[in-house]
Amino acid sequence: MVFADLFFIYVFLPLCLICYGLAKKLSTKNIVLIVFSLIFYAWGEPLWILLLLFSSFFNWFIGILIGKFRDTPRAKLAVGGGIFVDILLLLIFKYSAFIVENLNAVSGAAIPVPQITLPIGISFYTFQAISYILDCYWETVDVQPKYHKFLLYLSLFPQLIAGPIVRYSVVEQEIDNRSVNATDLCEGALRVILGLAKKVIIANNLWSIVNTFFGKDITGLSVLGTWYTIIVYSLYVYFDFSGYSDIAIGLGRMFGFHFDENFRHPFACTTIAEFWQRWHISLGSFFRDYLLYVPIFGKPRKYFGLFLVWFCTGLWHGAAWNFILWGLYYGCFMLFEQKMGKKRMKKWPIVWKHVYTKLVIILGFGIFYFEDLGQLGQFFLNITGISMIASGAPFTDPMTFSSLRNNIFLILFAILVSLPVLPKIKSYFLENKNDTVYTIGRVGSVAVCMVLLAIVSVLLVDTTNNVFLYFRF
């Protein structure tokens, strides 16, 4: 089941809200959420719910052991064993085929490549489990003594399959003490609708453009066509993932949970470091807090840890070499900016900063898209213009101009929405002390969201273009 689906919007979610509202006690409300979360996860592939239940029980039990053997070597053993099993599950279900393929390529062996379907959301809930174990050991959270409450945390359907990576500390208090009022329901619903609009109205249409140009061999693609498509793809990834994050945050709010923001207009950045402070914030903070600052590398850990983080960031996104290259690519620019220093970079003209960051980001998305390294190489030949010299590829082509002409308003609108323009308009109306302006803003936001919901609903009827990028993670 996915969020951008008519069944979810008009059947599953209303039924869940009704059952949740009818439950009187918070304990009963939690059970309702657990049941609906398990149904949600099992909808596509019921078998993988067993893996989720195993992971939740195992990590909960590890937490119990940590609490029982606090400040003893057994606690360290429990942490190490828990993290080992969690990573082992990722290796088996996500990376086993990649590992075997590369072993065969290097050694010349003929080991059968495992054909294992990737369990949806395994990267997200595994990282949440690891963060819980470490936080219990570091005593930044209390050990959860009741399994069903930990299961609620790990399986909560708003964030289960696509994040953000919610730490236990964020919801620890709200599991046992939360309430939902009319404001929560309204604000949450509006956030959900905005997320759906990002996904269905903007991202899905951007993907159609990308698939038209990059969905085939790009050897003959023009230089301008390559630049045009990768810019569109960059926007697509943002709206696809940030849209789902908006939905998750909005759904959480409707049930009394307050998740941290996962995106803060990353394309407004002026440095690559700032970009990653704004993009997929929950993943970046996870690696920063649980990997970068772990004191296991000694004096050289600053640089070794930096590239380890970016290696893991790339690998987390997919079992392919392009993702590893993508992570290390950003590691190099993070190192460059560290060496350059904040004071020097502040002296750069603002135009240079934006040109530099946007070029790095756009080229980075090219590395991210092409899992086939041959096509990745062709991408760089095209985008640099070398293909014009080497093989006589055209600089431009009629198809690119036609696509740009037909989609210019969509692209301009996407660029506008990706920047912090609409939040400023929203804050003007909804934070205005003038009652009339505030009322106009409140009524207007509801009206706009109702129109957006209607458009989303129409577009989702018989849709065939509703893929979600992060399902493969």
Range of the domain at 54: 6-178
> How many domains are there within the chain?
3
Asked which of 127, 151, 178 is the last residue of a domain, the reply is 178
Residue 260: phi and psi, rounded to 5, are -70, 155
The per-residue pLDDT for range 56-110, each reduced to its tens digit, is 999 999 999 999 999 899 999 999 999 999 999 999 999 999 999 999 988 888 8
- The average pLDDT across 248-272 equals 93
Active-site positions read 317
43 and 28 co-located in one domain:
yes
Rounded-to-integer distance, Cα 366 and Cα 388, Å: 19
169 and 52 co-located in one domain:
yes
What average pLDDT does the structure give for the chain? Answer: 89
pLDDT above 90: percentage of residues in the chain: 65
The per-residue pLDDT for range 105-148, each reduced to its tens digit, is 888 888 888 888 888 888 899 999 999 999 999 999 999 999 99
Rounded-to-integer distance, Cα 358 and Cα 361, Å: 5
Q: Which residues contact 211 (CB under 8 A, 6 or more apart)?
A: none
Rounded-to-integer distance, Cα 167 and Cα 257, Å: 12
Give the three-class secondary structure for 432: coil
253 and 278 co-located in one domain:
no
Specify the higher pLDDT residue, 252 or 302.
Answer: 252
User: What's this model's pTM, rounded to 2 decimal places?
Assistant: 0.92
Residue 1 included in any domain? no
Most confident of the following: 5-9, 334-338, 358-362, 459-463:
358-362
Q: What is the pLDDT of residue 468?
A: 61
Q: What is the pLDDT of residue 297?
A: 47
336 and 405 co-located in one domain:
no
297 and 278 co-located in one domain:
yes
pLDDT above 90 (res 163): no
Residue 277 included in any domain? yes
The per-residue pLDDT for range 395-414, each reduced to its tens digit, is 898 999 999 999 999 999 99
Q: Which residues contact 321 (CB under 8 A, 6 or more apart)?
A: 373
213 and 360 co-located in one domain:
no
H helices of 318-418, in order, are 321-340, 342-346, 350-369, 373-384, 386-391, 398-418
Q: What is the pLDDT of residue 289?
A: 84
